[in-house]
């Protein structure tokens, strides 16, 4: 079965069962369980899984399948997370644990048995990053305290292996208000996730240059490709010499070759300008 299982829960209500973080990584992951109001549906589905004929066929890594627990003979819905020779590691999507079984205990999945979304889901808290390069101990304590709490969020994207990119307003507001981290735009965050999940074994600095402060040549900073320059932006852009080095703060990224940044040497001027503009806006209301 294709691993692009559909989901009808764009807005989700979850109980957080596990929180996964590493002080040296910027992504905070979690495992959660859907609301128990669907418990009867899952119970009926589990009984149906036991009765349907099992079709033994090739199942690849990342695919959804049915898997038998050899000790009790029960079948479950699962997703193959690793395949080596004839041994499969299968994550039970309704129970949150992983089974290692031989190929004889794997069966193909049918669309009908996967109409209900996984009862246990994995995800990444969207659009939040540490203030500096790593999460502080105080921030990690906050994430630890989230375990067993109920959260409501909005699915921004469904990544590989059905990992949800979940925007949780309560978590986002806490992180910002408590000064534990910062909020970034969705496009930039999705780019970071894409680059980190594509090369998970590489250090962050090799996957994506320091998002806060890094030296770049001026020819790299304003490479806009074939798009025409707007006159107003031309007049506002700083004048830089080709081949020079500048310290910048990346404020938004659309792709590895297209991003927006601010000169750190002009940070104070920008802060003053922003405060002045905000003051004018308040007085005009």
| Residue 111 near residue 191 (C-beta atoms within 8 A) | no
Residue ranges for the chain with pLDDT beneath 50: 1-8, 199-226, 229
Distance, in Å, from the CA atom of 109 to the CA atom of 77, rounded to the nearest integer, reads 8
Distance, in Å, from the CA atom of 202 to the CA atom of 206, rounded to the nearest integer, reads 6
Q: What is the pLDDT of residue 232?
A: 52
Q: What is the pLDDT of residue 2?
A: 38
SS3 88: strand
Q: What is the pLDDT of residue 265?
A: 78
Distance, in Å, from the CA atom of 77 to the CA atom of 92, rounded to the nearest integer, reads 6
**Exposure letters 178-202 (e unless 16+ CB within 10 A, then b):** eebbeebeeebbbbbbbbbeeeeee
Distance, in Å, from the CA atom of 270 to the CA atom of 285, rounded to the nearest integer, reads 23
Predicted structure pTM score: 0.62
- Those residues with Cβ within 8 angstroms of residue 260's Cβ, 6 or more apart along the chain or in another chain: 250, 251, 252, 253
Q: What is the pLDDT of residue 234?
A: 57
> DSSP letters along 96-157, please?
--EEEEEGGGEEE--GGGGSSPPSEEEEEETTEEESSSS--HHHHHHHHHTTT-EEEEEEEE
Q: What is the pLDDT of residue 233?
A: 52
């Amino acid at each position: 079965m294709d691993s692009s299982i559909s989901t009808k829960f764009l807005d989700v209500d979850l109980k957080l069962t596990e929180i996964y973080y590493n002080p040296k990584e910027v992504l905070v992951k979690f495992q959660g369980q859907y609301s128990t109001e669907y418990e009867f549906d899952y119970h009926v589905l589990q009984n149906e899984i036991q009765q349907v004929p099992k079709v033994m066929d090739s199942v690849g890594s990342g695919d959804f399948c049915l898997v038998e627990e050899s000790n009790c003979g029960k079948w479950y819905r699962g997703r193959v997370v690793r395949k080596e020779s004839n041994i499969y590691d299968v994550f039970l999507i309704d129970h949150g644990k992983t089974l290692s079984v031989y190929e004889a205990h794997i069966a193909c999945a049918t669309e009908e048995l996967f109409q209900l979304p996984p009862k246990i889901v994995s995800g990444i808290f969207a659009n939040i990053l540490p203030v500096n390069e790593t999460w502080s101990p105080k921030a990690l304590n906050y994430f630890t305290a989230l375990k067993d709490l109920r959260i409501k969020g909005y699915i921004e994207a469904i990544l590989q292996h059905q990992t949800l990119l979940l925007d949780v307003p309560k978590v986002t507001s806490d992180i910002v208000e408590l000064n534990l981290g910062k909020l970034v735009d969705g496009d930039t965050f999705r780019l970071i996730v894409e680059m980190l999940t594509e090369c998970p074994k590489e250090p962050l600095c090799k996957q994506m240059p320091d998002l806060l402060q890094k030296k770049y040549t001026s020819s790299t900073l304003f490479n806009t490709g074939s798009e025409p320059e707007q006159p107003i932006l031309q007049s506002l852009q700083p004048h830089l010499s080709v081949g020079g080095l500048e310290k910048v703060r990346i404020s938004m990224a659309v792709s590895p070759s297209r991003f927006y940044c601010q000169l750190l040497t002009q940070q104070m001027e920008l802060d003053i300008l922003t405060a002045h503009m905000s003051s004018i806006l308040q007085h005009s209301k």
